[in-house]
Structure 1
Amino acid sequence: MVRPLEERFRTVRDLLPDYRVETTGNRIVVHESGTWQHNTVLSRLLFQIVGPAAARGWEIWPNITVHLGEQADRYVPDLAVVPPSPRMAEDHAVHGDSTVLLVDVVSTSSTYDDYFVKPTGYAPAGVPLYLVIDPFQESATLFSEPGERYGRETAVGAGEPLVLPAPWEFALDTGKLLYA
């Protein structure tokens, strides 16, 4: 008998606690730790968002599962920004509509999932903002206005400002994210 995906997901997550394990498109995906380039992009992003997040009392969480619904996938973004006392599905899973921003940095193995699969799961779950930073394309894409799909997709090249709408209301300096 084949075990349900959720049960297999939990087993893999328990067996590999040092890895990011998620279900994406009815697949169990295991991500190794990021490269130094991947982590440098995340560090540069943190330098820009930590002040605005702290001023609002928000927290920045790496390695948290996003609960998208009972029968939906379970994604683990590179970073999640959450308000005080977010609604949790479990200790390791925050409800998507209880986030302020989710971020993924594209790796060679995640391009399709980050650009196409995850936005179709995040939007109906009410994730307000999903940011995809792509060091290979030297670009950043912000998905916003969630509904059945995201109503808005804003893509900019490295060096162009990317405005994060309310409740952020400030512009990321993408040049500082993607250039040394």
Structure 2
Amino acid sequence: MIRPVEERYRTVRDLFPELRIERINGRIVVNEPGTWQHNTVIAQLLAQLAPVVAERRWEIWPNITVHLGDEADRYVPDLTVVPQNPVMETDEAVRGASTLLLVDVVSAGNAYDDHVIKPMGYAPAGVPLYLVVDPFQRLLKLHSRPEAGGYACETVEPVGAPLPLPAPWDCLLDTTRLLNL
């Protein structure tokens, strides 16, 4: 008997709690820990976001599942920023509409998922901002203004150009420091 995808997803997640396990388009994706370059990009991004997050008493979660709906995929972004007391689906999953910013740094094997699949899942779930940092193309792509069919706004900036984060952030990211590896 073939077990439903959700049951297989939970089994794999329980077997490998140290890894990021996602359900993407019906596939169970096991993400190994990032390379030093991947982690350096995350650390540089954290250094810029942390002062704003601390001032507003938000929280940064590096390993949490984003609940997109009962029958939807399960994504685990590299960084999730949430307000105080976000709405949780389970102890391991925050509701997409209860986030402030999700960030993924593209790795060699996940470019299509990060650029195409995940925005299509995040927007209908009400995720307000989804940032994709692509070290291979040397660009940042910010998806904003979620709608049922996708994001109404997509801002793409090359490394070196400031990237404005809209409300409730109202700040600029200095992209020159993000990808200087």
Is this a same-fold pair by TM over 0.5?
Answer: yes
Match of 2:179? Answer: 178
> Any idea what SS the aligned residue of 2:151 has?
coil
Match of 1:76? Answer: 76
CA distance in 1, matches of 2:179, 2:27: 30
Match of 2:42? Answer: 42
CA distance in 2, matches of 1:130, 1:120: 11
CA distance in 2, matches of 1:53, 1:142: 18
In structure 1, stretches of 5+ residues that fail to align are none
Match of 1:119? Answer: 119
Q: TM-score, normalised by structure 2?
A: 0.98
Q: Deviations over 1:84-112 (max 9, x none)?
A: 00000000000000000000000000100
2:170 corresponds to 1:160: no
2:71 is matched by which residue type in structure 1? Q
Deviation at residue 179 of structure 1 after TM alignment: 1.4
Q: Deviations over 1:7-60 (max 9, x none)?
A: 100000000111000100110000000000000000000000000011111000
Identity of aligned residues (%): 62
CA distance in 1, matches of 2:42, 2:68: 24
In structure 2, stretches of 5+ residues that fail to align are none
Deviation at residue 2 of structure 1 after TM alignment: 1.0
CA distance in 1, matches of 2:7, 2:90: 15
Match of 2:130? Answer: 130
2:83 is matched by which residue type in structure 1? P
Backbone CA RMSD of aligned residues: 0.5
Match of 2:59? Answer: 59
> Any idea what SS the aligned residue of 2:11 has?
helix
> Any idea what SS the aligned residue of 2:60 has?
strand
CA distance in 2, matches of 1:49, 1:98: 18
1:87 is matched by which residue type in structure 2? V
> Any idea what SS the aligned residue of 1:29 has?
strand
Match of 2:23? Answer: 23
CA distance in 2, matches of 1:146, 1:11: 31
> Any idea what SS the aligned residue of 1:55 has?
helix
CA distance in 2, matches of 1:53, 1:93: 20
> Any idea what SS the aligned residue of 1:163 has?
strand
Deviation at residue 113 of structure 1 after TM alignment: 0.2
CA distance in 2, matches of 1:80, 1:21: 15
Q: Deviations over 1:56-100 (max 9, x none)?
A: 110000110000000000000000000000000000000000000
Q: TM-score, normalised by structure 1?
A: 0.99
